[in-house]
Amino acid sequence: AQSVTQPDIHITVSEGASLELRCNYSYGATPYLFWYVQSPGQGLQLLLKYFSGDTLVQGIKGFEAEFKRSQSSFNLRKPSVHWSDAAEYFCAYNQGGKLIFGQGTELSVKP
Amino acid sequence: DGGITQSPKYLFRKEGQNVTLSCEQNLNHDAMYWYRQDPGQGLRLIYYSQIVNDFQKGDIAEGYSVSREKKESFPLTVTSAQKNPTAFYLCASSQQGAKTGELFFGEGSRLTVL
């Protein structure tokens, strides 16, 4: 079955450290892939998306993600984490006009 | 300002009662969606509608119902048939039926069954 998997339920990083959140997809063709962020008790906001072309995509708030077909991955990265980045992050893909989400990764930031 | 408005933000329900969650958008989007969020399970699609007067079941439609009589409105009814309705409910909308993938979300409604 087609799906996205986020292997890490919870990650803690120190402020200023680099961040990588993992996302693996299971899909026959090249999927449309997305990363969303959710602050506690709020809706989701789109960080970035990949459709085709350049495999390194830039998003808002200093985030980027790299599509790697050979590894079926679309990992989210940020070179230096800020305390305000603490939130839950969701990877998703487009399936027939609807978005299917991964389980989410909760990010905590240590001062 | 354009956006999606969900109401109420918090709702308490007794077992056996139906409850309706409101979702209104002024983005002129064609498609609207309802997701349910539970801890550790991500977002699961309940229903979606890509055009007025038409909607489709998502992965967990049992115990829920929707209507799409107006482009800007997509209310969700949680019926007494839903066995575990306590959850955070998110409404979203998009242009082009989410072909581009960008969903715009409301701030959610938290339903608690007492």
pLDDT digits (tens, 9 = 90+) for A11-26: 999 999 999 999 999 8
Cα-based distances in Å from A21 to A90, A97, A101, B74, B103: 10, 25, 14, 33, 21
Among A30-34, A67-71, A78-82, B16-20, which stretch is predicted with the lowest mean pLDDT? A30-34
How many C-alpha atoms does B32 have within 13 Å on its Cβ side?
A: 31
Percent of chain B with pLDDT over 70: 94
Find the CB nearest B101 among A49, A102, A103.
A49
Residue B99 pLDDT greater than 60, yes or no: no
Contact residues for B8 (Cβ-Cβ < 8 A; gap 6+): B21, B22, B109
Residue B98 pLDDT greater than 60, yes or no: no
Mean pLDDT of B29-43: 91
Q: pLDDT value at position A99?
A: 87
- Minimal Cα distance from B90: which residue of A? A43
Q: How many angstroms separate the CA of residue A25 from the nearest CA in chain B? A: 15
Partner A, chain B 21-50, Cβ-Cβ below 8 Å? 31, 33, 35, 40-45, 48, 50
Residue numbers in B near A94 (CB within 8 A): 98-99, 101
Does an H or E element contain B69, and which? none
Three-class DSSP labels, chain A: CCEEECCCCEEEEECCCCEEECCEEECCCCCCEEEEEECCCCCEEEEEEECCCCCEEECHHHCEEEEEHHHCEEEEEECCCCHHHCEEEEEEEEECCEEEECCCEEEEEEC
Q: Is the CB of A1 inside 8 Å of chain B's CB atoms?
A: no
Percent of chain A with pLDDT over 90: 73
Question: Would the CB atoms of A43 and B100 count as touching at under 8 Å?
Answer: no
Q: pLDDT value at position A53?
A: 82
Mean residue pLDDT of chain B comes to 92
Find the CB nearest B101 among A34, A90, A102.
A34
Mean pLDDT of B45-51: 94
Partner B, chain A 48-107, Cβ-Cβ below 8 Å? 49, 51, 90, 92, 94, 97-104
Q: Is the CB of A32 inside 8 Å of chain B's CB atoms?
A: yes
- Minimal Cα distance from A89: which residue of B? B42
